[in-house]
Structures are given as C-alpha cells and as structure tokens.
Amino acid sequence: MIYTLTLNPAVDYIVRVSDFELGRINRSETDVKYPGGKGINVSRVLNRLGQDNTALGFVGGFTGRFIEDSLAAENIRTDFVSVAGDTRLNIKLKTLEETEINGQSTHISAANMGALKEKLALLKKGDTLILAGSLPETVSPGTYYDIIHTWVPKDIRCFLDTNGDALFEALRARPFFIKPNHHELAELYNVPIASPEQAAFYGKKLQTEYSVPHVLVSMASQGVLYIHEEEIVHIQPPRGTLVNSVGAGDSTVAGFLAKYEKTNDPKEAAIYAVAAGSASAFSEGFCTKAEVDRYSNNMQCERINI
C-alpha cells in the first residue's frame, strides 16, 4: 500500500490578477480553491496516474472539511487525524510573476501526535510512505526523523520531500528517496546552485554523505538531476508554456513513485517524474495520465560526470 503523509496541509487559494497593484482594490479574473499541501498533492497526482493510495495527516475546521470532501470526490481514501483549529489557507497570487503566502499552521496537540503515531504503527512491511511538506510550527524539527526512524515499522520505503531543519534532521534516518529542489539543496550546503552541474555535485555529496539510495534534484525549467550510487543523469523537461507551477514538485514525486512501482527502474521513473512535473506546470490544475505518458515517450537522460 502507498500512504502519503501531510502534517501541514492547506487549502490553496489560487488568484489571478494580471494588473495587480499594491494599495488599491484589485478584483480577481479567476480564483480557485484546491485541497493542498505536498502529500495531498502527491495523493491526487498518484490517483490521476492510476496509483491507488491513502492520504494521512492532520486536518481541522472548515478548510479541513473542504480537503476531506474534495479528496472523497476524487475517490481518494483518507485517514486523517482531526485537529481543533482550522487547516491553513495558502494564497497563490498570479500576476506577472507568481507570489505565494503560505499561512500559519494550526496547533497540533500531544494527543493529535499520539493518534498519528498509532496509525503509522499499523503500516506493513513493503508499504511506501511519502512524507511531504513543511512541519507545523508547533511540532519538533526532528518529527520526520522520528517517524522514519522509530514510528513506522521496519522495511517501509520512505519518500521525503521537505526543506530546512526538517530535511536536515530527517536525512540521518536514511529515507529511500528525497526530492529537494535546487534552492533547498543550496540552503542545505549554504552555497549558490544555478547550473545542473552544480546541482549534480551537491546532489551527489548529499547522496553519499547520507547514503540515500535515490536523490532527485528538481530545477524547474532546467528539469531534474537523478543521482544514485552508480551514476548521475540530467533529464531536460519537455517544451511547453508555464501556466501554474504550484504542485509541479509534488507531481514530480508522484510521477517517480508511480513508474517505480510498476517497473522498479529508477531511470525510467525519473523520466516519468519530469514528464509529470512539467505536464502539471503546463496546466491550470494537475497533469493527466495521457499527457504524462505522451511527454515521457519523447524524453532522454544525459549522463553527467563530475
């Protein structure tokens, strides 16, 4: 079974105002609300790619109900822990540029954490758990480490997509797969990263230092670097027009997992990951399986030596 875990979900409120001006009343041209947070996005894209999964995490209040109802409407199984406050709202403002305001997370109590721990203890050998997104402000930065190292039973494949201290701490638990973007990788090593070669160098350093079997460094319009013990490959994205990059990274993670589940071939999975990320970036919402299949048929890996 595949489970996603979103400790800090959100309702993404995507507002388009092309001629936005500070200090006046702006009126939106379009606005939509989506159930969001990284693990939830991974669940939704996995589902579109035909991969059954269950979404776990914390939800609460009217925004939490919106998330549960939206996922139910897409036939995605959920097993959330209910919390007292409202799940946050994240504003994604589309003007000439994309600007994001991610809201404050709600309080997570010790009892909420205990309830989650009980659910995670029920995972079975061979299951996959995707831990994705930021941690709520009220939980310790070591939470992902604790979950991977101690809370889930042994032999669970853990995919991790987070940043900052949460990522730094969790690396010691040796997740099976990680997907930093190049900004997150740069932050981890306190260096600038602008080129695929620099991303390859620091991605390899990370892979070696923490013995992570699969590292995917995403670089938006520059595609991804896939790094494992034996080689490093660069996969360029397909051509297309950027429409909405919210959830492109989550689509990348879902694309990798969906293909890896079927083929056990990480390079094919990395190609499919780029196809899924870009297909979502070129859409208002998320990718469709037909688009991802089509893009992935025309993409290649280029080996990088460092």
Ligand X SMILES: O=P(O)(O)OC[C@H]1O[C@](O)(COP(=O)(O)O)[C@@H](O)[C@@H]1O
- CA 45 to CA 258: how far, in whole Å? 9
Q: Which is nearer to ligand X, 153 or 164 (CB)?
A: 164
| From the list ligand X, ligand ADP, none, partner contacted by residue 12 (C-beta under 5 to 8 A by kind) | ligand X
| From the list ligand ADP, ligand X, none, partner contacted by residue 299 (C-beta under 5 to 8 A by kind) | none
- CA 299 to CA 138: how far, in whole Å? 43
Beta strand ranges found along 17-156 (DSSP E): 30-36, 54-59, 77-78, 81-82, 88-94, 98-102, 128-132
DSSP run (H or E) holding 135? none
| From the list ligand ADP, ligand X, none, partner contacted by residue 37 (C-beta under 5 to 8 A by kind) | ligand X
Residue nearest to ligand ADP (CB): 249
Q: Which is nearer to ligand X, 232 or 254 (CB)?
A: 254
Q: Which is nearer to ligand X, 70 or 197 (CB)?
A: 70
List the Cα angle 183/149/38 in 5-degree steps.
40
Q: Which is nearer to ligand ADP, 108 or 185 (CB)?
A: 185
List the Cα angle 253/295/3 in 5-degree steps.
25
Applying the rule CB under 6 A, the residues between 218 and 257 that interact with ligand ADP are 218-221, 223-224, 237, 242, 245, 248-249, 252
| From the list ligand X, ligand ADP, none, partner contacted by residue 221 (C-beta under 5 to 8 A by kind) | ligand ADP
| From the list ligand X, ligand ADP, none, partner contacted by residue 41 (C-beta under 5 to 8 A by kind) | ligand X
Q: Which is nearer to ligand ADP, 41 or 112 (CB)?
A: 41
Residue type, 14: I
List the Cα angle 99/245/32 in 5-degree steps.
75
Please, which residues have CB within 8 angstroms of residue 39's CB and are 6 or more apart in sequence?
Answer: 4, 5, 6, 7, 9, 55, 56, 57, 130, 131, 132, 133
Contact predicate 287/45, CB 8 Å:
yes
Interacting residues toward ligand X by CB under 6 A = 8, 10, 12, 36-38, 41, 90, 102, 133-134, 245-250
Please, which residues have CB within 8 angstroms of residue 306's CB and are 6 or more apart in sequence?
Answer: 197, 200, 201, 204, 232
Q: Is 250 a catalytic residue?
A: yes
Q: Which is the catalytic residue, given 52, 69, 127, 250?
A: 250
Single residue of 148, 199, 215, 281 touching ligand ADP by CB under 6 A: 281
CB of 208 to ligand X, least distance (A): 25
Q: Please state the three-class secondary structure of 223-257 as a single string.
A: CEEEECCCCEEEECCCCCCCCCCCCHHHHHHHHHH
The contact pattern for ligand ADP, residues 182-221, with x = CB under 6 A and - = no contact, is ------------------------------------xxxx
Task: Work out whether 277 is an interface residue with ligand ADP (CB under 6 A).
Answer: yes
Task: Work out whether 37 is an interface residue with ligand ADP (CB under 6 A).
Answer: no
Q: Which is nearer to ligand ADP, 54 or 278 (CB)?
A: 278
The region of 126-134, 189-197, 263-271, 275-283 touching ligand ADP under the rule CB under 6 A is 275-283
Bridge partners, 33 (sequence order): 13
| From the list ligand X, ligand ADP, none, partner contacted by residue 274 (C-beta under 5 to 8 A by kind) | ligand ADP
Query: How many CB atoms within 10 Å of residue 72?
Result: 11
Enumerate binding residues for ligand ADP (CB under 6 A).
181, 218-221, 223-224, 237, 242, 245, 248-249, 252, 274, 277-278, 281
Positions marked active-site: 250
